[in-house]
Amino acid sequence: MLPDGGGDDEERWLAEGIAGVQQNAFYMHRALDSNNLKDALKYSAQMLSELRTSRLSPHKYYELYMRAFDEMRKLEMFFREETRRGSCSVVDLYELVQHAGNVLPRLYLLCTVGSVYIKSKEAPAKDVLKDLVEMCRGIQHPLRGLFLRSYLSQISRDKLPDIGSEYEGDADSINDAVEFVLQNFIEMNKLWVRMQHQGPVREKDKRGKERNELRDLVGKNLHVLSQIEGVDLEMYKENVLPRISEQVVNCKDDLAQFYLMDCIIQVFPDEYHLQTLETLLSAFPQLQPSVDIKTVLSQLMDRLSNYAATSPEVLPEFLQVEAFAKFSNAIGKVIEAQVDMPVVGAVTLYVSLLTFTLRVHPDRLDYVDQVLGACVKKLSGKEKLEDSRATKQIVALLSAPLEKYSNIVTALELSNYPRVMDYLDNATTKVMALVIIQSIMKNTTCISTSDKIEALFDLIKGLIKDMDGAQDDELDEEDFKEEQNSVARLIHMLHNDDHDEMLKILCTVQKHILQGGPKRLPFTVPSLVFSALKLVRRLQGQDGDVTGEEVPATPKKIFQILHQTIEALQCIPCPELSLRLYLQCAEVLLEQLIDSFYTSSYCVIAFLIQAANDCDLEPVAYEFFTQAFILYEEEIADSKAQITALHLIIGTLQRMNIFGVENRDTLTHKTTGYSAKLLKKPDQCRAVYACSHLFWTDDQDGIMDGERVLLCLKRALRIANAAQQMANVSKGSSGSVILFIEILNKYLYFFEKGIPQITNTVIQDLIELIRTEKQNDSSASDPSAEAFFASTLRYIEFQKQKGGSIGEKYEQIKAS
């Protein structure tokens, strides 16, 4: 099309052309000043001949064209003045310019005189325009033809036979005006497209760039068309849009199709687009595969959604024309037709469709979910997205509902929302999770049901646990801390006034965060603990047994959950934090229960002592026991509470394995001393024989002091005997032998443990003692004691029959 030439050559050619225009324009002006029409036409034709060059690029040609255009406007004014004075008939002038030697100057002059001809109204405007648009077919060189037709469009735009115009003719004149503009547009588009196919293949990109510089010459026709008053919705729908769409589709040029579709969207009114959606959208699937349809279609949806936002009164029309269904169907057809469309293109279309839906139909969650489902369908069969652009669009897709509804609960109702998130890579999953949490924080969203919490934690799982293929070593420490702090803040926002539902929420959170691994637990566990303690404070005075799955929220149940949670934290290990959380638990429970139920205080102490033991902190554990004893001495006066507290202390101390000999001896001595000082003898007896377990444990490196075990049991026998004597004095009978039977069972327990001090002789003597006491009891026998003693003897016989080492141990004992 254009000859090769360097920048210097082109500048020289342009300078020569401008010099030719200026020189001939000078002579033309001299002729005009002397009213010499013949010479004026001669020099103007020579000036216009400079536009016949093929050596300039479009940009340089435009400079040359504008120089000639300025001169032609002066020539038009001269023609108009001549015809006004009557010096020359406009009809004769119209015929005269057609005798110019070269076709290009002739047509420029013809268009100029044609403008004067229409202005004079000596002929219908539609006839002159029709003649001009047909005559311009004489120039088929793309560059020269485009600028010639652009000149025709420019001089005629204010002379179209439009409604209300001074050039309006009969009733059909509006159709003639539209036909003139459409025909000029079609011919210009053909010339514009033809440029791409002229010249060597190696210059294809260069020609594409040059064509892009010329696109506005073609697009101006559509702008002119949109300004015609007579082009109402009916004409646009029946004539204008179908003609333009047909030309766009048939030209089969990607640059032209993209630009012209964009022009249609930009220049015509929004209400026209809304009422002609089906026709307009039907063109998109027919466009070339290389056309950037997503951008154009997105612009159309954005424009219509803005139209709906600024004009709420038109929203019913969107429903009436089924805009969402038509857009959704068109996008599906486009994606189906363009099999090579990259994922980012398809996702971008769905982002625009979702944006449109949220603006126009914010109340239709089914539409929103349908868009997400269509995206899932497009992504099905693919692994995690690796294209960063596509990933960015997915994030935009998922963020749109959060921004619109300002409530993650609404997004949780969308079944396809988590399915879309599944296609994000691990890093982007974390980014999206942070977006969700930030949305919750920003809008102070309260998520109040366990099923919603379950769905939410499934969405943010990238922050809660290690994902498949994730490399923790690659994480930035500061970023990781910020992520986990966000999760911790989220846990604090979970709330429900119903205690049972709040307990379910805590259980759900616990289930998820315990999967977080050693790096996450120190950040997330404290939040769960403090949220649980808030519930404990709300449950003041409640308690109950914990059985089954559906249990009411009680402090006991919550502290079981807390104990499990903090135990997981200890396994990391993280002793200091674990201990702090145990202390916090103790503080809350003491706040609730110390004034009304003292044994609960010992539950806390046991809790704390066990924590100190697990953390291998002997001084702290010893201090806890000290506080327990102080509390026992100073605060607990009720005998039943004392019994419960002592047995709790005994059980806790028996499990401890961190004390040295001196500390343990001190604690066991204090415990046995308190046991022997209980108010009632039976309670003393039971507490003392329970203390025997403090001196014999089965744990590795545990204490095994048979002498002190036997000492405790003998002391218990003495107390039991004293109880018998007191019963004889007060009731006139020896009383029940139940304490002796209980002590017998303790002897049997330690006998089987292999304590050498507990022999079969000792056991036999105790059996005989029980029998003697029973015989001496003149009162009615105690059925429970009888059954208990019989059961114990049967157990001894059963052990004999086992044989082996156990049978040999029991062989010398006579139970019958």
Long-range contacts of the stretch 535-538 (C-beta < 8 A, 24+): 535/499, 535/502, 535/503, 535/506, 536/588, 536/589, 536/592, 537/588, 537/591, 537/592, 538/499
**pLDDT value of residue 803:** 81
The pLDDT assigned to 233 comes to: 93
Query: What pLDDT does 548 receive?
Result: 45
User: Quick one: CA torsion of 400, 401, 405, 411, rounded to 10 degrees?
Assistant: -150
Residue 669: predicted pLDDT = 92
Tell me how far apart the 2 most distant CA atoms of the chain are, in Å.
Answer: 161
Please report where in the chains the tokens 């469309």 appear, as a residue. 341
- The pTM of this model reads 0.68
**Other CB atoms closer than 10 Å to residue 568's CB: what's the count?**
18
Which among 396, 403, 400 has a CA at the least distance from the CA of 431? 396
> How far is residue 541's CA from residue 279's CA, in Å, rounded to a whole number?
72
Residues 441, 493: contact at Cβ < 8 Å?
A: yes
DSSP three-state, residue 531: helix
Distance in angstroms (rounded) separating the CA atoms of residues 673 and 649? 13
pLDDT for residue 470: 55
| CB-CB contact of 529 with 585 (8 Å) | yes
3-class DSSP state for residue 637?
coil
DSSP 8-class letter at 196: G
Between CA 794 and CA 815 the distance in angstroms is: 8
Query: Minimal CA–CA distance to 265: which of 319, 223, 228, 224?
Result: 223
Instruction: Report d(CA 155, CA 151) in Å as an integer.
Output: 6
User: What H or E segment, with its residue span, contains residue 279?
Assistant: helix 277-283
pLDDT value at residue 545: 45
With 0-12 CB in 10 A as exposed, 13-18 as middle and 19+ as buried, what is 366? exposed
Mean pLDDT for back-to-back runs of 10 residues, the chain (816 residues): 58 93 92 87 92 90 93 89 80 84 90 90 89 92 94 91 80 83 95 86 84 92 92 93 95 93 95 94 91 90 91 90 93 87 90 93 93 92 83 92 87 90 88 90 87 90 76 70 90 89 90 87 88 81 47 73 77 64 54 43 58 59 72 78 84 78 90 91 94 84 86 93 82 72 93 90 91 76 87 91 85 82
Phi then psi for 143, rounded to 5 degrees?
-70, -50
Distance CA 494, CA 509 (A): 9
Burial class for 339, CB neighbours closer than 10 Å (0-12, 13-18, 19+): exposed
Q: How far apart are CA 351 and CA 371, in angstroms?
A: 9
- In terms of DSSP H, where are the helices of 635-759? 639-655, 661-675, 681-691, 706-731, 738-753
- Going from the C-alpha of 286 to that of each of 200, 289, 291, 451, the distances in angstroms are 28, 9, 10, 46
Percent helix, strand, coil in the chain, to 5, is 75, 0, 25
Contact 61, 147 (CB under 8 A): yes
pLDDT score at 593: 40
Quote the pLDDT of residue 572: 74
Q: What is the pLDDT of residue 715?
A: 94
Question: How far is it, in rounded angstroms, from Cα 558 to Cα 778?
Answer: 52
